[in-house]
Amino acid sequence: MIKFFLMVNKQGQTRLSRYYEHVEINKRTMLEAEVIKNCLSRSKDECSFIEYKDFKLVYRQYAALFIVVGIDQIENEMAVYELIHNFVEVLDKYFSRV
């Protein structure tokens, strides 16, 4: 199950966030800061899956935009990785030149 969905730029600013479980506002900001720091600090040679606390992070970079999805431990990482790509393709078709 997807826990949250984030779109973040290279400067670490959150552009879009959607939570599918209730998380208090102050915990959201701390969670986003830690997740963004973990994803932005990794090189392109490293895997796009990170185990973080009690869930996994799946992220993908498109130019200056990072899309990060938090999922349960039992969720398939490759399926979520492909979901991110399909989401970006839909945005590109709808808005053109995403």
CATH number at residue 77: 3.30.450.60
pLDDT digits (tens, 9 = 90+) for 22-43: 999 999 999 999 999 999 898 8
Buried b (16+ CB within 10 A) or exposed e, 69-91: bbbeeebebeebeebbeeebeee
The per-residue pLDDT for range 77-98, each reduced to its tens digit, is 999 999 999 999 999 999 887 6
- pLDDT at 98 (0 to 100): 66
Residue among 51, 71, 49, 45 at smallest CA distance from 59: 49
The three-state (H, E, C) secondary structure of 12-23, written as one string: CCEEEEEECCCC
User: For the chain, how many structural domains are there in total?
Assistant: 1
Domain extent at residue 21 = 2-95
> Model's pTM, two decimal places?
0.90
